[in-house]
Amino acid sequence: MEQHINDTIIAYLNDPGNQELANSLEPWLNASADNRQLFEEMRQVWESAGQLPQEFSSQKGWELLQEQLTVVPKSTMRVRSVNQVWWRVAAVVFPLLVLTGIWYSHNTSSAAWHTFVASRNGIDSVLLEDGSQIILRPGTTVLWRFNSSKREVKMQQGEAFVKVAKDATRAFSVQLPNGTVTVLGTSFNIKSTLRYSDVAVREGRVSISGNKGTSTILTAGDLAVIDSAGMVSKSAGNYAYRSNWTNPQLRFRNMKLDQVVRIMESAYQIKIAIQDSRLSAISLNADFSEVTREVALEELAVLLNTDLKHLSDSTYQLGTSETK
C-alpha cells in the first residue's frame, strides 16, 4: 500500500494538473496530518530535484536533498524525527535522483559512432535504428550516432542516397568534409569527393550549410554544391534523377540524349562515349526499366539507329559508324 502511495505521489508531482491523480491522493491526505506533512516535504524535495545543477552528480543531489529535509518548517503539528522523515522521503526520492543522473549522462555523453562500409561488389544499404535508410555506392563509408535530441551521420567520400525517417523532435544531419546537411524528414542524394560535395533532393526540404558560413535551402529537384573552400552554390535545373542509381527505373520522356547518357552512366556505373556528335541533339522517349544493362544499351542503339561498341567491362561507345 505504501509503495502504491509513493508511486501515486511521484506521478502527481510530475503531472500536478492531473485531476485523476489528485482525487486518488485525497483520501490519503485527509487521513492524517502526518500524511499531509510528508506530502509537503516530498513536494519540496521534488522541486529541489528539479533545480539540480547542470553538471549533475549523485553527491550534490544527496546534499541538496538533505539540506531540504533538515529544514523542518515551524508548525503546530507534532514534529517527527528528522531521521524518520529522511528515510521515508529518501526511499521515494533516491530513485528519482538516480534516474536524473542516468538521464543526464545519456543525453550529454558522447555516444559511440557506428560505422558501415558498403561492399565493393555492388550497391549496398544499411537500416538505422530510427528507421532511416542509407543506400551506398560500392566502397562508400558512413558513420552515425543518435541520442534523444539529435541524429548525426558522417560521410567523407563516396555517394549515398539517404531516406530519413520523420522525427519532429530530432533533427537529422549529415556532416561532410566541407559542410553539413540538416533535415527532419526527406530523401536526398549526397556525393562527396576530395574537391567538392553535392546534394540533390528527391523529396522534402533540406538545409545546406558550408564551413564558410554560406547556406541555402533545397526542395525536391534542387541541387547544391559545396566546394573545397566550404562555399555553397545552388545549381539551376531539376536534379531529382541523381538518385536513380538506387533503383534503376529508367523512364525517359522527351529527354536529350546527353542527359539520358548521364543518367544511364550513373545508374549502371559505366561510361558511354557518344562518337557521333549528331546524336546529342536527339530527344528520346524510352523505358529501360526491369531490363539488364546490356539490353537497355542495345535498345538505346536501336532507337538511335546507330551502332553500339563494348570497349571494356564498363565502357561503351555509341555511333561507331555514320548514323544511317
Q: In this structure, what DSSP letter does residue 241 have?
A: G
Query: pLDDT of 289-324, one tens digit each?
Result: 766 778 889 999 999 999 999 898 789 999 865 544
3-class DSSP state of 227: strand
What CATH code is assigned to 114-241?
2.60.120.1440
Report the DSSP beta bridge partners of residue 256: 283
List strand residue ranges (DSSP E) for the chain, in order: 114-117, 124-127, 133-136, 141-146, 150-155, 158-163, 171-176, 179-183, 187-192, 196-203, 205-210, 215-219, 223-227, 232-235, 251-256, 271-274, 283-287, 308-312, 315-318
Determine the Cα–Cα distance for residues 253 and 44; give it in Å rounded to an integer.
71
At residue 72 the predicted structure's pLDDT band, cuts being 50, 70 and 90, is very low
3-class DSSP state of 170: coil
Quick one: pLDDT at residue 135?
Answer: 93
Quick one: pLDDT at residue 205?
Answer: 92
Compute the chain's Rg from CA coordinates.
32
Least confident of 60-64, 86-90, 166-170: 60-64
What CATH code is assigned to 248-318?
3.55.50.30
Pull the grid cell for residue 49. 530535484
Quick one: pLDDT at residue 76?
Answer: 36
Quick one: pLDDT at residue 1?
Answer: 57
Please state the domain extents for the chain: 2-108, 114-241, 248-318
Quick one: pLDDT at residue 121?
Answer: 76
Plot region of 231 (φ>0 → left; ψ -120 to 50 → alpha; else → beta): beta
